């Protein structure tokens, strides 16, 4: 097939035999072919010109020298005539020219179309009723490059094409015009007339005019543009006077969170702006009409508000540390903006420029404008910001003190942190600001603004070197286009959200009921009361969703207590110090033994020397301890315990010295300190036939100390496992090259050695407790460590992940010697604590999905009312246009009315269908159940076994009408 297509393409390069003109039928001079017209017809010269009077930008090829050669219509005699739809001007009435009414002389203009750059002679209309040159050019569907004496014109189709090429393909203007030059002459592009600068100016003006046209500015004489007037906003988000039902204020008691303005602010340092040489010549076409705030009030705010040197007390993110960073070569270091947290639409008149970094005064102005846009009367607002834990502390106070900012009097202002950024905050921020526990948020991740930055940054990179005003306008266009795409996809998006919300709510409700059925009602009632109280208090009280514990005592703390009680317990003075010395010496011997085993018979001279140096230092310490041990054992006939046995631990320790010849190994092994068995009670007492009372007291003493040693080992193990997770996330995954990734893995391997070291020490402590006859309750707390226990616990380092209900933490992260209620003596209490945390989080998870159903259903109705409001608005504009006798304005208004009605019909049909489909899948309900409004849905916090299902009780035909 490829050969056949190639053959066809080559055959079209020849002039067919016996060809005739497509229009007049002559066979003479038929040597012109239009490769742009469908069918590629062949013409004679006269017919070619006549047929292209209204298509002057088609590509014409002439048959000459046995091949087709490209030729322009200008060379064939085509002239572009203005004012009479391509026909010559009759210059009616003919005797009207004088010194005040001069003739428009014929001229030559450069025309830029998406097919290339063309030059044609131009004739203007010179009738007595003629329009100006600019108006005649506009009537031809062209846009002039200047307005005084136009020498260049751009086809409106080209300007639209350039707009979409910029929005979708992120093509810079220079590259776009280079493409046009190559389309015109791919052999010598530089020979094509350069109109790059004129394109930049014309496109800037055209986009501004289109924005005003789309916003209906010319049809709204009573309302002047400003404060986001040219921007689109989110259809589902609650906006009083736009998409809320009549009397919505009376429905606040039911579910006030459905009328909550949720905003997601963030800074973006991927949109800087270079300083220009002549900023005084910068001209702005907009003044806060789009997504950017008005420049003059914003500059006044910056001058009136002092800089605040922020210190990060929580997050390890770069936003705070970069807040005071300054770059001399930049006019702006980035931008800050707000989107609606549930749908990602940019909030009009909320985007600001950064002068140094993401400073508090910048973001305050951004957020205050976002909260104020079309929100007067809303009862609640939520700000989901990655620095909310620090930024939100005094935000309301700053608004009260400020003379340049204000927000509506919300009854409740909530702050939260997005789920991705929350992992970089300290632990207490998780409970205070996690969206998992904020009532009324539904299912939002608080990171939706990152999708805006990913789409905006390629355009921001191109706008980097533009003037400040031009850059703002380009980014305004991009954010307006972003909101338009959100609007066109909102119907299907809400339908998908509803389907997911119904399924997930059912799953979470079933899972929560199953968990509740396994627990005593007294417990769940108690936990529910605690949760209610915590939600009312907020702040640190929300730590109820985490494991409640106090840290286990360290060996140093236990040693201090035992030393104080030596005299009262009958233990010989100095026994505690002697036991701790022996245990510390055991740990040192373990580390030495592991170092020997790690060399595996090799190693450098320096490494082998280091091993011998460690042995030299430990040998006298071992000898001194063994000698001091004799005074603490008073039983006659005590067995000598200085046999050369390996250290007994649950984990095998390699004792063979790789530096020793096998013939001398048995003899040398005796002298190695790492192979000596220390005379501790855990070693000596198990070999006694009948331990003395003094020996039993020593055993109890050592058990207590071994608990502290085990606690220290578990604490060190948790730290190293956490550090391992951070190494993997921060170094291994983000390594930009193979070399750096290799070094990162070296760090991980070094960390693994420390993990193994702590495991060995823990096994030593546990095996000693076993030898000393520790109780089953103690051994139940200090369990064996297995490989699965060494996995990173996601509840600790990724607490805001999905699917938490099916996961359980390893016991090493739950093992504590004390809780708030007292001493843990069995695993049942620890398991109960895990049940409590899982039950509360499962309850919160179910509540968020119930809220999601209520919110999505309300958003469906808001969207329908938004399209109805838009249709009414354009109907009023149409009436105004007809009254002012502007038929073109009225026609455009009618076009917008039809578009709004089309969206409205699609929304009603889609929402009705998706709600009824889910209702049928769940089966019919008993009796008639018609709900007048969505606000009668059962409260999400209701814990009854038979939860209400909004989709079961809805009269979809009534609600979506």
pLDDT per residue as tens digits for the range 329-345:
888 999 999 999 999 99
- Per-residue pLDDT at 325 exceeds 80: no
> At 266, is the secondary structure helix, strand, or coil?
strand
- Per-residue pLDDT at 579 exceeds 90: no
Q: How many Cα atoms are found within 13 Å in the side-chain-facing hemisphere of 215?
A: 26
- Per-residue pLDDT at 133 exceeds 90: yes
pLDDT the model gives residue 450: 92
Q: What is the mean pLDDT of residues 572-581?
A: 75
pLDDT the model gives residue 818: 38
pLDDT the model gives residue 813: 60
Give dist(CA 292, CA 228) in Å, integer: 8
Of the candidates 827, 829, 820, the residue with the CA atom closest to the CA atom of residue 551: 820
For tokens 């895990």, the residue is 834
Give dist(CA 376, CA 410) in Å, integer: 9
pLDDT band at 356 (very low <50, low <70, confident <90, very high): confident
Are 112 and 8 found together in one domain?
A: no
pLDDT the model gives residue 741: 63
Are 570 and 692 found together in one domain?
A: yes
CB-based contact 760:591 (threshold 8 Å): no
- Phi and psi for 389 in degrees, rounded to 5? -65, -30
Task: Judge whether 614 lies within some domain.
Answer: yes
Of the candidates 267, 276, 279, 283, the residue with the CA atom closest to the CA atom of residue 319: 267
Give dist(CA 515, CA 513) in Å, integer: 5
CB-based contact 247:239 (threshold 8 Å): no
Among the listed ranges 352-366, 804-818, 891-905, which one has the minimum average pLDDT value? 804-818
pLDDT the model gives residue 314: 66
Are 16 and 64 found together in one domain?
A: yes
**Number of neighbours of residue 612 by Cβ within 10 angstroms:** 11
CB-based contact 446:341 (threshold 8 Å): yes
Are 595 and 709 found together in one domain?
A: yes
Of the candidates 20, 66, 8, the residue with the CA atom closest to the CA atom of residue 47: 20
Please identify, among 198, 215, 232, the residue that sits at the C-terminal boundary of a domain: 215
Q: For 721-745, what is each residue's pLDDT tens digit? A: 766 665 655 555 555 666 666 766 7
pLDDT band at 663 (very low <50, low <70, confident <90, very high): very low
Please identify, among 781, 798, 815, the residue that sits at the C-terminal boundary of a domain: 798
Among the listed ranges 4-8, 145-149, 608-612, 925-929, which one has the minimum average pLDDT value? 925-929
Could you tell me where the DSSP H helices lie in 170-271? 173-184, 196-215
Of the candidates 114, 113, 123, 118, the residue with the CA atom closest to the CA atom of residue 87: 123
pLDDT the model gives residue 936: 35
Task: Judge whether 643 lies within some domain.
Answer: no
Q: For 61-74, what is each residue's pLDDT tens digit? A: 999 999 999 999 99
For tokens 């103690």, the residue is 778
Give dist(CA 273, CA 295) in Å, integer: 15
- Per-residue pLDDT at 654 exceeds 60: no
Task: Judge whether 828 lies within some domain.
Answer: no
Are 31 and 124 found together in one domain?
A: no
Q: What is the mean pLDDT of residues 851-871?
A: 95
Look at strands 152-155 and 142-144 and give their pairing: antiparallel
828: left (phi over 0), alpha (psi -120 to 50) or beta: alpha
Are 564 and 593 found together in one domain?
A: yes
Highest-confidence range of 437-446, 788-797, 925-934, by mean pLDDT?
A: 437-446
CB-based contact 227:297 (threshold 8 Å): no
Q: Which residues, in sequence order, are bridge partners of residue 42? A: 33
pLDDT the model gives residue 723: 66
- Cα end-to-end span (Å), the chain: 54
Task: Judge whether 482 lies within some domain.
Answer: no
Give dist(CA 399, CA 378) in Å, integer: 18
> At 816, is the secondary structure helix, strand, or coil?
coil
pLDDT the model gives residue 570: 55
pLDDT the model gives residue 443: 92
CB-based contact 410:311 (threshold 8 Å): no
pLDDT the model gives residue 299: 93
pLDDT the model gives residue 554: 60
CB-based contact 789:811 (threshold 8 Å): yes
Give dist(CA 377, CA 708) in Å, integer: 59
Q: Which residues, in sequence order, are bridge partners of residue 153? A: 111, 144
For tokens 């899948």, the residue is 921
pLDDT the model gives residue 357: 81
Give dist(CA 841, CA 799) in Å, integer: 11
Handedness of CA 828, 830, 833, 837 (dihedral sign): negative
Query: What would the two tokens of residue 464 be?
Result: 């980097």
Give dist(CA 282, CA 273) in Å, integer: 14
Are 594 and 731 found together in one domain?
A: yes
More confident position, 902 or 615? 902
pLDDT band at 498 (very low <50, low <70, confident <90, very high): very high
Q: What is the mean pLDDT of residues 94-122?
A: 90
pLDDT band at 549 (very low <50, low <70, confident <90, very high): low
Highest-confidence range of 677-686, 757-766, 915-924, by mean pLDDT?
A: 757-766
3-state secondary structure string, 341-357? CCCCCECCCCEEEECCC
Give dist(CA 759, CA 765) in Å, integer: 10
Are 607 and 725 found together in one domain?
A: yes
Q: What are the strands, taking DSSP E only, across 582-679?
A: none
pLDDT the model gives residue 550: 53
pLDDT band at 153 (very low <50, low <70, confident <90, very high): very high
Handedness of CA 351, 357, 358, 359 (dihedral sign): negative
Give dist(CA 642, CA 655) in Å, integer: 17
Are 751 and 684 found together in one domain?
A: yes
Arithmetic mean of pLDDT over the chain: 81
The helix (run of H) or strand (run of E) holding residue 261 is strand 260-268
Are 718 and 592 found together in one domain?
A: yes
Task: Show the domain range for 187.
Answer: 89-95+103-215
Look at strands 42-43 and 67-71 and give their pairing: unpaired
Give dist(CA 379, CA 266) in Å, integer: 24
Give dist(CA 260, CA 377) in Å, integer: 10
Are 783 and 863 found together in one domain?
A: no
pLDDT the model gives residue 726: 59
Q: For 366-387, what is each residue's pLDDT tens digit? A: 999 999 999 999 999 999 998 8
Task: Judge whether 794 lies within some domain.
Answer: yes
pLDDT the model gives residue 961: 62
Look at strands 42-43 and 152-155 and give their pairing: unpaired
> At 413, is the secondary structure helix, strand, or coil?
strand
Task: Judge whether 167 lies within some domain.
Answer: yes
pLDDT band at 637 (very low <50, low <70, confident <90, very high): very low
CB-based contact 123:67 (threshold 8 Å): no
Among the listed ranges 293-307, 444-458, 627-641, which one has the minimum average pLDDT value? 627-641
SS3 breakdown of the chain: % helix, strand, coil, rounded to 5?
50, 10, 40
Task: Judge whether 9 lies within some domain.
Answer: yes
Task: Judge whether 647 lies within some domain.
Answer: no
Among the listed ranges 29-43, 565-579, 634-648, 677-691, which one has the minimum average pLDDT value? 634-648
Among the listed ranges 381-385, 469-473, 915-919, which one has the minimum average pLDDT value? 915-919
DSSP-derived secondary structure letter, 277: S
Q: Which residues contact 587 (CB under 8 A, 6 or more apart)?
A: 761, 764
Are 614 and 745 found together in one domain?
A: yes
CB-based contact 466:197 (threshold 8 Å): no
Number of domains in the chain: 4
- Per-residue pLDDT at 632 exceeds 80: no
Q: What is the mean pLDDT of residues 678-683?
A: 80
Q: What is the pTM of this model?
A: 0.73
């Amino acid at each position: 097939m490829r050969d056949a297509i190639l053959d066809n393409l080559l055959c079209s390069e020849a002039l067919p035999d016996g060809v005739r003109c497509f229009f007049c039928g002559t066979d003479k001079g038929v040597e012109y072919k239009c490769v742009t017209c469908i069918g590629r017809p062949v013409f004679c010269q006269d017919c070619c010109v006549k047929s292209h009077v209204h298509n002057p930008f088609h590509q014409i090829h002439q048959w000459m020298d046995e091949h087709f050669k490209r030729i322009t219509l200008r060379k064939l005699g085509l002239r572009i005539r203005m004012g009479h739809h391509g026909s010559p001007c009759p210059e009616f009435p003919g005797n009207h020219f004088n010194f005040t009414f001069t003739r428009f002389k014929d001229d030559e203009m450069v025309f830029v179309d998406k097919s290339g750059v063309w030059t044609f002679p131009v004739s203007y209309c010179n009738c007595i009723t003629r329009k100006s040159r600019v108006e005649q050019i506009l009537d031809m569907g062209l846009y002039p490059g200047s307005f005084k004496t136009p020498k260049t014109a751009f086809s409106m189709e080209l300007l639209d094409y350039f707009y979409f090429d910029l929005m979708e393909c992120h093509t810079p203007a220079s590259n776009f015009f280079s493409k046009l030059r190559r389309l015109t002459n791919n052999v010598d592009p530089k020979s094509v007339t350069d109109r790059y600068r004129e394109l930049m100016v014309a496109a800037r003006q055209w986009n501004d005019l289109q924005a005003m046209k789309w916003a209906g500015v010319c049809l709204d004489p009573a309302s002047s543009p400003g404060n986001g007037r040219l921007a689109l906003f989110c259809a589902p988000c609650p906006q009083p006077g736009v998409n809320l039902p009549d009397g919505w204020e009376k429905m606040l008691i039911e579910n006030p969170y459905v009328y909550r303005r949720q905003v997601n602010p963030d800074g973006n340092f991927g949109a800087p702006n270079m300083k220009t040489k002549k900023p005084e010549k910068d001209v702005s076409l907009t003044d806060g009409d789009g997504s950017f705030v008005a420049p003059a009030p914003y500059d006044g705010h910056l001058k009136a508000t002092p800089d605040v040197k922020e210190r990060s007390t929580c997050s390890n993110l770069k936003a705070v540390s970069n807040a005071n960073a300054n770059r001399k070569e930049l006019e702006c270091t980035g931008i800050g903006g707000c989107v609606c947290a549930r749908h990602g639409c940019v909030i009009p008149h909320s985007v600001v420029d950064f002068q140094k970094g993401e400073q508090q005064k910048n973001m305050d102005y951004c957020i205050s404008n976002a909260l104020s846009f079309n929100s007067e009367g809303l009862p609640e607002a939520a700000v989901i910001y990655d620095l909310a834990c620090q930024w939100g502390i005094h935000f309301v106070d700053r608004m009260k003190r400020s003379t340049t900012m204000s927000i509506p009097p919300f009854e409740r202002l909530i702050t939260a942190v997005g789920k991705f950024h929350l992992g970089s905050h300290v632990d207490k921020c998780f409970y205070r600001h996690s969206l998992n526990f904020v009532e009324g948020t539904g299912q939002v991740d608080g990171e939706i603004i990152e999708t805006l930055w990913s789409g905006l940054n390629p355009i921001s990179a191109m706008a980097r070197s533009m003037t400040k005003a031009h850059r703002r306008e380009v980014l305004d266009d991009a954010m307006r286009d972003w909101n338009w795409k959100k609007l066109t996809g909102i119907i299907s998006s809400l339908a998908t959200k509803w389907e997911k919300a119904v399924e997930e709510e059912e799953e979470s409700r079933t899972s929560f009921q199953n968990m509740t059925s396994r627990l005593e009602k007294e417990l769940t009632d108690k936990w529910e009361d605690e949760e209610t109280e915590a939600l009312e208090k907020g702040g640190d009280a929300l730590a109820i969703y985490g494991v409640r514990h106090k840290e286990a005592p360290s060996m140093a703390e236990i040693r201090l207590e035992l030393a104080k009680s030596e005299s009262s317990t009958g233990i010989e003075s100095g026994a505690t110090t002697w036991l701790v010395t022996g245990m510390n010496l055991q740990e040192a011997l373990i580390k030495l033994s592991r170092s020997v085993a790690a060399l595996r018979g090799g190693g450098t001279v320096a490494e082998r020397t280091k091993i011998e140096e460690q042995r030299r230092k430990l040998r006298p310490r071992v000898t001194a301890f063994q000698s001091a041990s004799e005074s603490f054992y008073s039983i006659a006939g005590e067995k000598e315990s200085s046999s050369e046995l390996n250290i007994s631990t649950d984990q095998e320790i390699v004792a063979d010295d790789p530096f020793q010849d096998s013939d001398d190994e048995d003899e040398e092994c005796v002298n190695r300190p790492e192979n000596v068995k220390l005379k501790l009670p855990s070693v000596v007492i198990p070999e006694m036939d009948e331990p003395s009372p003094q020996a039993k007291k020593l055993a109890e003493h050592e058990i207590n100390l071994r608990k502290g040693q085990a606690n220290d080992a578990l604490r060190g193990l948790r730290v190293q496992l956490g550090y391992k997770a951070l190494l993997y996330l921060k170094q291994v995954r983000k390594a930009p090259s193979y070399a750096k990734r290799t070094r990162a893995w070296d760090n991980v391997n070094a960390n693994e050695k420390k993990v193994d070291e702590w495991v060995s020490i823990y096994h030593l402590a546990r095996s000693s407790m076993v030898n000393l006859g520790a109780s089953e309750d103690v051994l139940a707390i200090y369990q064996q460590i297995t490989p699965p226990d060494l996995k990173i616990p996601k509840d600790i380092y990724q607490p805001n992940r999905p699917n938490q209900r099916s996961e359980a933490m390893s016991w090493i992260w739950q093992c504590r010697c004390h809780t708030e209620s007292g001493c843990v003596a069995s695993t049942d209490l620890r398991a109960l604590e895990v049940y409590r945390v899982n039950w509360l989080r499962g309850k919160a998870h179910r509540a968020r999905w119930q809220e999601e159903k209520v919110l999505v259903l309300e958003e469906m109705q808001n969207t329908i009312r938004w399209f109805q409001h838009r249709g009414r608005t354009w109907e009023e504009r149409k009436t105004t246009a007809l009254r002012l006798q502007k038929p073109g304005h009225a026609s455009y208004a009618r076009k917008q009315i039809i578009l709004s009605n089309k969206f409205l019909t699609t929304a009603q049909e889609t929402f009705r269908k998706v709600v009824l489909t889910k209702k049928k899948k769940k089966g019919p309900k008993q009796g008639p159940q018609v709900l007048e409004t969505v606000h009668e849905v059962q409260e999400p916090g209701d814990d009854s076994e038979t939860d209400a299902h909004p989709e079961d009780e809805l009269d979809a035909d009534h609600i979506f009408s």
